[in-house]
Homo-oligomer: A and B are copies of this chain.
Amino acid sequence: MKNPIADLNKIFDSRIRLGVMSMLVVNNEISFNDLKQMLELTDGNLASHLNTLEQAEFIKVHKGFIGRKTSTTYSITVLGKQAFKAHLDALEKMIKKL
C-alpha cells in the first residue's frame, strides 16, 4: 500500500486557500472584498493567502473598476484548476475506501 497523503497538495492544506479555490472554481471572477466577507478574514490574512496562490500561479489578479471605484478581482488559472482537481482527486481516492 502506498502513502495515502502523498498526492495531496500542500498549498491546499489551508482551509482558507481551499475556500478561495472552491469559490473561484464556480465563479470566474470574485473581488477581494467579496472573498474577505465570505471567508470572514482580515485584509492582511486574505492578502497573504492570495499571494501564496498567486505565487503558485493558481490564481490571477485583475485590477479594474466597478463604476468609478477600484475593484481588484481574482480568477483561477488553468494550472490552478488542474492542481485543485488533482488535489480533490487525491482526497477522494484517500477516502474512497469508505
Number of copies: 2
Q: With A13-B15, A15-B10 known to touch, is A4 a contact of B38 (CB < 8 Å)? A: yes
Contact indicator per residue, chain A 24-65, by CB within 8 Å of chain B (1) or not (0): 011000000000001110000000000000000000000000
Determine the chain B residues whose CB is within 8 A of the CB of A19 once the complex forms: 3-5, 94
Interface SS of chain A = helix
What are 28 residue pairs bridging A and B, where the CB atoms are less than 8 Å apart in the complex? A1-B38, A3-B38, A3-B39, A3-B40, A4-B19, A4-B23, A4-B38, A4-B39, A5-B15, A5-B16, A5-B18, A5-B19, A6-B40, A8-B15, A8-B18, A10-B15, A13-B13, A13-B14, A13-B15, A18-B94, A22-B94, A22-B95, A22-B97, A25-B95, A25-B97, A26-B97, A88-B95, A91-B91
